[in-house]
């Protein structure tokens, strides 16, 4: 072969080798000629969700080099929902309704890394289902709206609050400013209710008899006796925590106590919707028992203690008084049947065996809850399972249960005498701070997102109020006849889902709180005051964005009440 031929053959071999090397390089995917698939986000849209319902979706991508890392460089996910960067999982429980627009970015593991982005959105539908899993009923003592809520902000929003009254002589009496703690106590028995009501032939209260209500003076009182002492309003500076709560959340100016009388029957209505002595009775316990010793009521009080009964005509003399131990269903029975826990937080007597005062502790007068240690009237202590498991003789334990995340589904909270707002307590101005300490504890905890707090007062306390009950039942056969309805009491509804700055003008009563709990937890009706009541639904908007909590300003904090060393005082009669 000639040299020339050899040279041509060598050049051809080299050319063939170069082509093979080129093709190999292209096939390997390395270098600038890589054939690795292009990185892309394959999720084109995300499913919608429902407010307060668990949400889960996964972002997907293809191409590039796995594993991927996900991020949201702009926009935002729905509140309560988050992205897991390593998996692309979007999950959580959205708390707000509406559309959330955002940019999703995926980054691969190539070196250098490659990233692509896509615009996406998630729409969360509003839910009318209740987010409330905990209810707290805080019961204070003996005030009317005209007496306690001379709040210019509420009045400016349309709250029906009046600063004068009319007496039985037709005279206009301006309400006088007094401290929250006063040295006298207006009568608020059924007799006082009848005097102040002045029931007319058309079945309506004329509301001109407050000057006929007797006034009890403290020993050594400076302000008592006097004229028109119950034509009064509390100094607004004494109750600013109440004003802040009422202005921020919902205030009801048509909340009435269900019964026409004092504390013991009122607390029975707040637990059971009735103060009837037994199932099927058309009578009601209508007064406080006839004793000033502790326990002053209940299935473990002294054998000689009795309570008056009122009949459908409104008479307290037709039937003889009875021992204050009753037996019928209460809301707690419904809760237990549904597997829901409840607690009744109440101050104890000095020996720790009873509530103090017992007239404010409704369970102690219900025989199957008390579980007395002997057949009434010979019992000396409640020892039943319901009592020991659910009645907490330490009212400040509610603060520990909130911070310790052991709050039951439904709670009733009862104050000490000096923290109760009850007239006749000097100085008696710590009630607003006590209530604020509970609200602030809830607001600072995860419970804020799912709790409704109802703050009310057990009766009107003998103070003047100008709004008559819309209905007074007497001489009839319907439930409550002879003892329903009583005068107005304040109601504040505090919740992340309460209507903000709202004045409720719908008629409510103690049965409304029971009916709210029944509706919220899908419980059957007790068939008492709850059956005829509304369910307070106008006070809530479950579709709104949850209200953020701002601490209620108060002169005393929770620590003061937890470590309170003041000798406990009980009101002298109620």
Sequence-distant (≥ 6) Cβ neighbours of residue 344 within 8 angstroms: 271, 361, 362, 363, 390, 391, 392, 411, 412, 414
165 and 118 in a common domain:
no
Which of 63, 92, 125 corresponds to the end of one domain? 125
Q: Which residue has the tokens 């003996």?
A: 142
Q: Coil, helix or strand for 14?
A: helix
Distance (Å, rounded) from C-alpha 134 to C-alpha 413? Answer: 13
Q: Which of 373, 287, 363, 296 is nearest to 330 (CA)?
A: 363
Asked if the structure places residue 310 within a domain, the reply is: no
120 and 138 in a common domain:
no
Domain count, the chain: 2
143 and 238 in a common domain:
yes
With both helix axes pointing from N to C terminus, report the angle between 263-272 and 510-520 in degrees, rounded to the nearest 10: 20
Report residue 456 as tokens. Answer: 């009310």
400 and 268 in a common domain:
yes
Distance (Å, rounded) from C-alpha 118 to C-alpha 346? Answer: 58
162 and 117 in a common domain:
no
Q: Coil, helix or strand for 7?
A: helix
Report residue 410 as tokens. Answer: 């439904």
Asked if the structure places residue 488 within a domain, the reply is: yes
Q: Which residue has the tokens 């080299």?
A: 14
pLDDT reported for residue 427: 83
417 and 343 in a common domain:
yes
Residue 65 sits in which domain range?
A: 40-125
Report DSSP letters for 483-548, one per residue: TB---B--EEEEETTBPTTEEE-S-EEHHHHHHHHHHHTTPPP-SSHHHHS---GGGB-TTSPPPP
404 and 470 in a common domain:
yes
- Are the CB atoms for 251 and 504 separated by under 8 Å? yes
Q: Which residues sit opposite 343 in a β-bridge?
A: 411
pLDDT reported for residue 314: 97
- CA distances to 216, 397, 535 from 413, in Å: 27, 10, 20
Asked if the structure places residue 298 within a domain, the reply is: no
Asked if the structure places residue 406 within a domain, the reply is: yes
Residues listed for the chain: 574
DSSP 345: E
430 and 479 in a common domain:
yes
107 and 70 in a common domain:
yes
Q: Which of 528, 424, 462, 423 is nearest to 194 (CA)?
A: 462
Asked if the structure places residue 567 within a domain, the reply is: no
Sequence-distant (≥ 6) Cβ neighbours of residue 44 within 8 angstroms: none
Asked if the structure places residue 15 within a domain, the reply is: no
229 and 109 in a common domain:
no
| Kind and range of the H or E run holding 395 | none
Q: What is the CATH number of the domain that holds 100?
A: 2.60.40.10
Sequence-distant (≥ 6) Cβ neighbours of residue 256 within 8 angstroms: 469, 470, 485, 486, 487, 488, 489, 507, 508, 509
Q: Which of 142, 476, 482, 457 is nearest to 284 (CA)?
A: 482
- Are the CB atoms for 105 and 147 separated by under 8 Å? no
pLDDT reported for residue 321: 98
Q: Which residues in the chain show pLDDT less than 50?
A: 1, 3-4, 6-8, 10-33
Distance (Å, rounded) from C-alpha 38 to C-alpha 403? Answer: 53
Asked if the structure places residue 316 within a domain, the reply is: no
| Neighbour-count burial for 334-362, b at 16+ CB within 10 Å, e otherwise | bbeeeebebbbbbbbbeeebbbbbbbbbb
pLDDT reported for residue 570: 66
- CA distances to 254, 486, 509 from 465, in Å: 12, 11, 16
98 and 231 in a common domain:
no
225 and 113 in a common domain:
no
Asked if the structure places residue 150 within a domain, the reply is: yes
pLDDT reported for residue 293: 80
Query: Computed over its alpha carbons, how large is the radius of gyration of the chain?
Result: 34
Q: Across all residues in the chain, what is the average pLDDT?
A: 93
Q: What is the CATH number of the domain that holds 198?
A: 3.40.720.10
């Amino acid at each position: 072969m000639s040299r020339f031929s050899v040279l041509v053959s060598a050049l051809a071999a080299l050319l063939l080798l170069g082509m093979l090397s080129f093709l190999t390089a292209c096939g390997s995917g390395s270098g600038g000629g890589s054939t690795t698939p292009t990185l892309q986000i394959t999720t084109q849209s995300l499913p919608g969700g429902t407010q307060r319902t668990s949400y889960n979706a996964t972002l997907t991508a293809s191409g590039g080099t796995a594993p991927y890392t996900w991020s949201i460089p702009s926009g935002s996910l729905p509140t309560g929902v988050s992205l897991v960067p390593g998996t692309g999982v979007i999950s959580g429980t959205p708390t707000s309704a509406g559309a959330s627009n955002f940019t999703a970015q995926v980054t691969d593991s190539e070196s250098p890394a490659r990233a692509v982005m896509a615009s996406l959105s998630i729409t969360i539908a509003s839910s009318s289902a209740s987010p409330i899993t905990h209810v707290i009923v805080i019961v204070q003592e003996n005030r009317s709206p005209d007496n306690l809520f001379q709040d210019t902000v509420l009045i400016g929003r349309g709250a029906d609050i009046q600063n004068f009254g009319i007496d039985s002589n037709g005279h206009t009496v301006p309400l006088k400013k007094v401290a929250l703690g006063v040295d006298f106590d207006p009568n608020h028995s059924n007799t006082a209710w009848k005097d102040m009501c002045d029931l007319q032939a058309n079945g309506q209260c004329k509301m001109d008899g407050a000057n006929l209500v007797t006034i009890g003076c403290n020993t050594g009182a400076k302000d008592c006796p006097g004229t028109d002492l119950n034509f009064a309003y509390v100094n607004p500076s004494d109750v600013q925590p109440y004003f802040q709560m009422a202005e921020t959340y919902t205030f009801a100016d048509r909340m009435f106590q269900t019964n026409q009388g004092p504390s013991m029957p009122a607390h029975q209505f707040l637990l059971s919707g009735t103060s009837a002595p037994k199932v099927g009775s058309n009578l009601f316990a209508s007064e406080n028992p006839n004793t000033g010793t502790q326990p002053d009521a209940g299935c473990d009080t002294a054998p000689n203690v009795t309570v008056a009964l009122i009949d459908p005509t409104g008479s307290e003399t037709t039937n003889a008084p009875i021992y204050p131990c009753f037996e019928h269903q209460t809301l707690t029975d419904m809760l237990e049947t549904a597997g829901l826990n409840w607690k009744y937080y109440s101050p104890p007597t000095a020996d720790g065996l009873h509530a103090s005062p017992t007239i404010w502790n409704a369970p102690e007068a219900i025989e199957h809850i008390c579980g007395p240690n002997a057949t009434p009237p010979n019992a000396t202590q409640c020892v039943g399972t319901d009592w020991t498991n659910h009645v907490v003789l330490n009212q400040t334990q509610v603060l520990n249960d909130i911070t310790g995340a052991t709050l039951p589904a439904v709670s009733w909270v009862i104050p000490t005498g000096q923290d109760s707002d009850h007239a006749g307590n000097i100085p008696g101005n710590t009630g607003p701070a006590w209530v604020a300490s509970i609200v602030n504890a809830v607001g600072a905890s995860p419970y804020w997102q799912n709790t409704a707090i109802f703050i009310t007062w057990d009766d009107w306390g003998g103070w003047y109020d100008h709004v008559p009950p819309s209905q007074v039942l007497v001489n009839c056969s319907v439930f409550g006849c002879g003892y329903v309805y009583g005068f107005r009491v304040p109601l504040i509804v505090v919740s992340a889902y309460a209507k903000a700055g709202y004045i409720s003008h719908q008629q409510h009563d103690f049965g409304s709180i029971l009916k709210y709990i029944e509706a919220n937890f899908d419980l059957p009706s007790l068939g008492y005051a709850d059956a005829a009541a509304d369910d307070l639904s106008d006070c809530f908007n479950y579709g709104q964005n949850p209200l953020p909590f701002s601490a209620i300003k108060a002169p005393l904090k929770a620590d003061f009440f937890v470590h309170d060393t003041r000798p406990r005082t009980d009101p002298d009669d109620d």
